[in-house]
Amino acid sequence: MTTTAAQWWEALTPATRKRLQADPHSAVPGEVWGEISRNGGSVLGTYWTSVQSAPDGYHLPHDLAVFAERAPDA
């Protein structure tokens, strides 16, 4: 089953939506990763393996970050 951005957003708790709206393009707090993925979203981490041992944070994919940025207030 494919989840749309709107369905994913509505499935999140109001507290999580508010946290994500505060700065949707910044690193996502670890305590909400599970809620995001259980409801059809994802968090991504990228890094250069030659110079970094791990990502400096996990972020929403661009499409979900833009949706969160433009969604009505939580």
Question: Residue 1 pLDDT more than 70?
Answer: no
Report the predicted TM-score, pTM, of the whole model to 2 decimal places: 0.80
Q: What pLDDT sits at residue 49?
A: 62
Q: Per-residue pLDDT tens for 35-51?
A: 998 988 888 776 556 66
Domain ranges of the chain: 5-70
Select from 18, 54, 52 the least CA-distant residue to 35. Answer: 18
* pLDDT, tens digit (0-9, with 9 covering 90-100), for 2-60: 778 899 999 999 999 999 999 999 999 989 989 998 988 888 776 556 665 655 778 89
pLDDT of residue 52: 56
